[in-house]
Amino acid sequence: MKKISVEIVQGNVLSVDAKGFVVPQFADKMSLTGVSGILSQNGHFCGIRDYAVVARQRRLPFGYSFVTDGRDGVKMLNVSLLGVSAPDAFGMVQLSTFAALAEAEKNGLDRIVMPALGTGKSGSLSFTRSAKAMLSAIESYAPLAQGFLKNVTICIFKGDKAFRDYKNVAGKKSYRAYVNDELEIWNEVNRRSLMRNA
The tens digit of pLDDT for each residue in 72-98 reads: 999 999 999 988 889 899 999 999 999
| Cα 130 to chain centroid, rounded | 10
| pLDDT of the residue at 139 | 92
pLDDT above 70: residue 198 = no
Q: CATH code for 5-190? A: 3.40.220.10
Q: How far apart are CA 88 and CA 109, in angstroms?
A: 29
| pLDDT of the residue at 129 | 96
Distances (CA, A) of 29 to 20, 53, 59, 97: 21, 8, 8, 20
Domain parsing of the chain, residue ranges? 5-190
Q: Which of 24-28, 74-78, 176-180 has the highest average model confidence (pLDDT)? A: 74-78
> What is the C-alpha R_g of the chain?
15
pLDDT above 90: residue 189 = no
The DSSP 8-state label assigned to residue 83 in this structure reads T
Give tens-digit pLDDT for 124-158. 999 999 999 999 999 999 888 889 999 999 999 88
3-state secondary structure of 87: helix
Q: How far apart are CA 2 and CA 7, in angstroms?
A: 16
Whether the Cβ atoms of residue 121 and residue 156 lie closer than 8 Å to each other: no
**H or E stretch at 47:** helix 45-57
pTM to 2 decimal places? 0.87
Mean pLDDT across 28-42: 88
